Structure formats: C-alpha cells, structure tokens
Amino acid sequence: MSAERAAWIALAAVPGVGPATHARLVAAFGSATAVLRAGPADPARLSAVVGPAGVARLRDGLREATRDPGAPLHAVEAQGGWAITPLERIYPSALFAIADPPPVLYGLGDPAALGTAGVAIVGTRRPTPRARWLAARIARAVVHHGACVVSGLALGIDAEAHRTAIEAGGRTTAFIGGGFPDGWPRANGPLAAAMIAGGGAVAGELAPGVPATLGTFPRRNRLIAAVARVTVVVEAPEGSGALITARHALEQGRPVLVAVEPAAGRHGAGGAALLAGSPALPLGEPEEVVRWIGSVRRAGRAAAATAIDPQLGPVESSIAAALKPGPAGMDRIIAATRRPAGEVAGALVLLQARGLARPVGPLWVAAGALLDAGFDPDGAHRRAVSSRGDP
C-alpha cells in the first residue's frame, strides 16, 4: 500500500499528468505501481491510453519517476506538509462528486479539516468596506454554527472570511491555486500561518513549489465549491473568479447564495447577473446562511466560540449601536452619538483595542462580537454600569 501510495504520488507529479490522465493510466495498468513499472518499457501499451504524442510527452518523466518513486512525497514532507490521495480515508469524499478529483492533494495543517462541513465564502479581491462587513458577519455566523469557512486565501473577501473565522475561534480551510509555500499572496502569509495554527488547512492540487498559472486559479475553484455545502458570493463584479466558484457549485448541484447589496452598483454587478440568470438565491440576513448548512457535528474548537460579553462605556456603547447597521464614517458616527469629534475618536480607539471595531479606508466597520446579530450595545453598557456600580 505504501509503495502504491508513493507510486501514485510520483505518477501525479510527472509533468503532463493531470487528473484525467492519471485516472486513465491507473485504470489501464491496474495500479500506479504498474504504470511506473511497465509504462516506460512498453510504449505500445502506454500509447493505447495517451496516444503517440502522449508517449513522447510522458516517457522521460515516467522514467524519472520510476528511478525514485518516493522522491515527490519526501519533498512534500520536507516542507512540513502532507500529500493525501483517494487511497486514504482522510481524502475529502466530497471531491469524488466532481468529474476530475485531484489524484493528490498537497497541503499544510490538518487534512481532516478539509472533510468537515463547510461554507464557501467567496468574492472580489477589492471589496468595499460594506462587503468586508458582510463577509465577516457571514463567517462569524458559520463559525458559531460549528461549520468551517472555506475560501481561496486570496486578498479581499477570501482573506476577510478566513481572518474572521480565526478571530471567532473557528476552523477555516483554503484551496490555493499554486503549490505551497508560495501559493498565496505574500500579504496573506501571516493569515495562512494562523489558519494552520487554528486547526485549519491550506491545500491545493499542485506539488510544492509549482507556481500558479492563469488556468490553475479557476480550476481550484471547483474544489472550493465541492467541499462546501453551500457557496456564498459576497461581492463580485463582472468577471470575478467568485462567479466561477458559484458556477462550479451550481453544476455540482450545491446551493449558491448571493449576499445582495442593492447599493453596490458596479461592485456587485456579477452577483446581480448570477441572481438573474441562474438558480442562485439571494441571502437576506447574513445569519440566514446557517439554514443551508444543515446539521453539523460540532468539533470541540468551534463549540468553544461563545462570545464573552464585553462591557462598554456610554460613548463606546452608542458608537457600537451606530456601527451595527453597517460601516459608517466619522461624520455619521458623530451625528448618531451626538458627541464631540475628539471624544468619538478616543472611544473608537478603545473599541478597536477591544476588537469590536476597525477602520477600513475612511469608514469604521464593526468587528468581533459586534458583528453578531445577538450583540446588544445597550446591554453591554448596562452590564458595565452595574458591574462598576457607578452610573
């Protein structure tokens, strides 16, 4: 088995062997070990599967793989990662639903996380502050439900979803378009490390060090759609990669939800088109996403994510109330709280330090527990007053 597994991974690592060729070769020869043993020496048999051109393309690589079949796996493990194949039970069974499941998944972190119930949160790399707010609210709802947040570790909505999930104490997994450890934007390096540390995983179908190409990003989107029970498109302009994920999900018969923002205009044009021309459904309130997840076997970690009720001062409390309906600029917050600009700015520093608000561009956006539907700013203030005993 171990020899077959090494041969399987070695065969997948041969340049020119994709999921389909891998599957046909293994089927024709009986096993990956047999492909490596017999293939290079028997061009006629190889040709019957991949054609004469295929033989010319693959023969050198196969010979190379035959010499040391364990090398690719060793290379993965040397990087601190793992490689899993459909031969193992840990391989996410959801991937068998797609036409060309990857023969090998390479990754970092906990491979078991890939198989847990998840929600895909995808969207533009350049979100508006409001879209970040929406993505964060959805991610928190998913985590509180005990499910896993799945995305692509890209900038923008992807990063927002992953980061919020970690902050809420949840698990989150990503399928990346290149081979680790360079398969994500450099700015997301710390985020990837946090995902792995938080019990999640970062996986992809390219071997470590293999760079992403234009085609690999749309292809990995099929994996995101496959492992997620439901896919949520948060903000997608025309031509966004998030729409490809949504299309894969629809083809696989999975529900697709679009977080509707009537005011988004061009930012949300792709999402609006998706709603108009496909079975995708609008997502009203972010918290409604949990109705589509179904029952979840709660892992210990996610269950622990109960919010600690923060205690807020009077100005903080009224700012929190002002941020609850959505991101707001200073002028709006000042108008809502009726406090001087300096006092509001100071209270925002405190809220930020508590992890309840953060600046995004010119706006302030709710964060942490303030994103939860059940959070009550007034109550937080009342608790503060009663615990201190002063009005």
Q: What residue ranges bind other proteins (CB under 8 A)?
A: 125-126, 128-130, 132, 155, 159-160, 163, 185, 187-188, 191, 237, 265-267, 327, 329-331, 334, 340-343, 345-350, 352-353, 358-363, 365
Whichever of 1 and 390 has its CB closer to other proteins, that residue is 390
Whichever of 117 and 165 has its CB closer to other proteins, that residue is 165
Q: How far is the CB of 146 from other proteins (least distance, A)?
A: 25
Whichever of 33 and 164 has its CB closer to other proteins, that residue is 164
Distance (Å, rounded) from C-alpha 198 to C-alpha 287? 23
Whichever of 51 and 359 has its CB closer to other proteins, that residue is 359
Q: Report the C-alpha dihedral over residues 188, 102, 253, 170, rounded to 10 degrees.
A: -40
Helix (H) / strand (E) containing 292: none
Distance (Å, rounded) from C-alpha 103 to C-alpha 17? 10
Distance (Å, rounded) from C-alpha 365 to C-alpha 171? 23
Rounded (5°) CA angle 122-137-236: 30
Q: Would you say how long the chain is, in residues?
A: 391
Q: How far is the CB of 251 from other proteins (least distance, A)?
A: 28
Q: How far is the CB of 131 from other proteins (least distance, A)?
A: 10
Q: How far is the CB of 240 from other proteins (least distance, A)?
A: 11
Q: How far is the CB of 306 from other proteins (least distance, A)?
A: 23
Q: How far is the CB of 389 from other proteins (least distance, A)?
A: 20
Q: How far is the CB of 345 from other proteins (least distance, A)?
A: 4
Q: Report the C-alpha dihedral over residues 44, 46, 51, 57, rounded to 10 degrees.
A: -120
The two structure tokens encoding residue 236: 């997608």
Q: How far is the CB of 128 from other proteins (least distance, A)?
A: 6
Residue 257: Cβ within 10 Å count: 27
Whichever of 97 and 349 has its CB closer to other proteins, that residue is 349
Q: How far is the CB of 174 from other proteins (least distance, A)?
A: 13
Q: Report the C-alpha dihedral over residues 62, 63, 68, 72, rounded to 10 degrees.
A: -30
Q: How far is the CB of 384 from other proteins (least distance, A)?
A: 16
Whichever of 157 and 293 has its CB closer to other proteins, that residue is 157
Closest CA to 72 of 114, 120, 13, 128: 13
- 10 Å CB burial of residue 273 (0-12, 13-18, 19+) is middle
Whichever of 129 and 208 has its CB closer to other proteins, that residue is 129
Distance (Å, rounded) from C-alpha 269 to C-alpha 353? 35
Whichever of 41 and 341 has its CB closer to other proteins, that residue is 341
Sign of CA dihedral 250, 222, 267, 127: positive
Q: Please write down the HEC assignment for all residues of 39-67.
A: CCCCHHHHHHHHHHHHHHHHHHHHHHHHH
At position 334, the amino acid (one-letter code) is I
Q: Cβ distance 223 to 205 under 8 Å?
A: yes
Whichever of 80 and 362 has its CB closer to other proteins, that residue is 362
268 Cβ neighbours under 8 A, 6+ residues apart:
131, 235, 236, 237, 260, 261
Whichever of 57 and 125 has its CB closer to other proteins, that residue is 125
